[in-house]
Amino acid sequence: MAASTDAPARRGRLTVALRAAAALAAGGLVFLSVPPRPTWWLAPVGFAVLALLLHDRRPRPAFGYGFLFGLGFMTPLLSWTGVFVGPVAWLPLSALEAALVAVPCVAIAAVAHLRAWYLWAALLWVAGESLRALFPFGGFPWGKIAFGQPEGLYLPLAALGGTPLIAFAVTLTGFGLGELVRRAAITRAPRALLVPVLATVLPLAAGVAAIPAVGTDADAGEITVAAIQGNVPRAGLDFNAQRRAVLDNHVKRTEQLAADVAAGKAAQPDIVIWPENASDIDPYRNADAAQAITRAVAAIKAPVALGAVVVRPDGPRNMVIQWDPGTGPVDEYIKRQLQPFGETMPMREFFRLFSSTVDRAGTFQPGDEATVFRMGEARLALVTCYEVAFDGVVRDSVLNGSNLLAVPTNNATFGRTEMTYQQLAMDRIRAVEHGRTVIVAATSGVSAIVLPDGTVTQRTDLFTPAALVERVPLRTATTMADRLGAWPEWSMVLAGLAALVFALVTGRRPRSAKDVPSGQHG
């Protein structure tokens, strides 16, 4: 009798364990959809599995499966955060992000009894991404689903509704596919399967239909740009211990390009982009650094936008300086969205209890202006490194009269991890979203030229000096995504929350064998 009583309990535990493993695997599939891999289509497959796990689930198991899904996604995605400091940063951050992923999963389970629940589920996923972009410590939107789609059919949707629209489309495909599988296990009636089929296919069709919205014409002319990658002495947190060597590397590579131009081996650039932290020696306080920069600018005969750390009485600034030939510094852009636990350290005293590495974090002060550099025909918008992950920061810069976008970045801290490729994927999404050529200049790679349709025409290898020179289109046309701004995101968030409120008010529908496939009870 005891054996017969224990058998259902064992089967129940096994079922839960298999579901937990499926949740981890589903998150892993979404991770595997992210560059440098071109397997963008794995993301909706991962969400299809998540849909099956969350459908009609109660809040506690929904949170648990959502958390495991988040761990499967975020833990490998963010592994670069611990490459030099160990798991003290990587694992807590991954767990926190996984918990934030679990929050919309609870809401998704709550709307599962509504008609077309997969539509509301996709809207609630967008709401969850909006939460992660704001909280905690100013937000961390690194795991946005859109950032894994620079190769996929969904990419053109960025020009219409930005990253939230891509996230909605990908998750609607996935949740629709999950519902299709669930219903197919119950019935083969075409009418019952039609709407989930449409939910699966229409977002992909919308991506194809949106291709004409992606502008590529040079409506403001063309210029020749150069991106300089000077390289660093060594990777890691102490890469800037040899600050003069980093500056000298960029001066040397710029002077080499100038020699190539003089010899007819390279085109004369109209503007030059140096990376973030190209001069961690304040050129306003150090005459020798200023002289070296002036010499390089004079040699290349073009204005240079260079990343520098500038010391002010109230704290340092992560800055991009426009340095013109014969004039010197003429304009400045101060990084507005600072990286917590890097450029700043929230709750420093508390986190020092766990690791002394918190004292490596800086005391940088943010800027407050979306400055656009006037460099000949170019009107150069700037977002520095980490800022490219934030929708509003990029949008404000682009809409401030720009016709070109530059992303100076410094990824040397993260060695040869996937971080730099993840960031390049963001650059490609931003190119389509805003209809701008994007010039990526990285201290140690990957530097790249990205056209307004997201195509990468040139890119460098990691940890090697390089110069990319190309003639690129200037564009002032405004995409639908820029004209609408944040309205698509907040409309989707409000619609998702309204569906959640309605679901909670109307209550949970009783489950029955005809509603749930065999093996999906519980």
Is 252 marked active-site? no
129, 179, 343, 385: which one is catalytic?
A: 385
By the 10 Å C-beta count (0-12 exposed, 13-18 middle, 19+ buried), 116 is classed as middle
Continuous segment of H or E residues that includes residue 458: strand 456-459
Six token digits for residue 491? 């409309």
Cβ density class 447-474: b for 16+ within 10 Å, e for less: bbbbbbbbebeebbebbebbbbbbebbb
Q: What does DSSP assign to residue 473?
A: E
* DSSP, residue by residue, 87-108: HHHHHHHHHHHHHHHHHHHHHH
* DSSP, residue by residue, 223-286: EEEEEEE---SS-STTGGGGHHHHHHHHHHHHHHHHHHHHTTSSPPPSEEEPPTTTB-S-TTT-
Looking at this protein, which amino acid is placed at residue 54? L
Identify any residues that bridge with 311 across adjacent strands, giving them in sequence order: 316
Half-sphere CA count of 261, side-chain side, radius 13 A: 21
CB atoms < 10 A from the CB of 217, how many? 10
129, 179, 276, 343: which one is catalytic?
A: 276
Identify any residues that bridge with 33 across adjacent strands, giving them in sequence order: none
Is 335 marked active-site? yes
Contacts of 8 (CB under 8 A, 6+ apart): none
Whether the CB-CB separation of 227 and 273 falls below 8 Å is answered with yes
CA distance 516 to 518: 6
CA distance 170 to 125: 10
Six token digits for residue 378? 């170019």
129, 335, 343, 418: which one is catalytic?
A: 335
* DSSP, residue by residue, 403-448: SEEEEEE--GGGTTSTHHHHHHHHHHHHHHHHT--EEEEESSS--E
CB atoms < 10 A from the CB of 1, how many? 5
Q: Helix 59-77 crosses helix 42-54 at what angle (to 10 degrees)?
A: 160
Whether the CB-CB separation of 220 and 194 falls below 8 Å is answered with no
CA distance 173 to 194: 14
Is 105 marked active-site? no
Residues assigned a catalytic role: 276, 335, 385
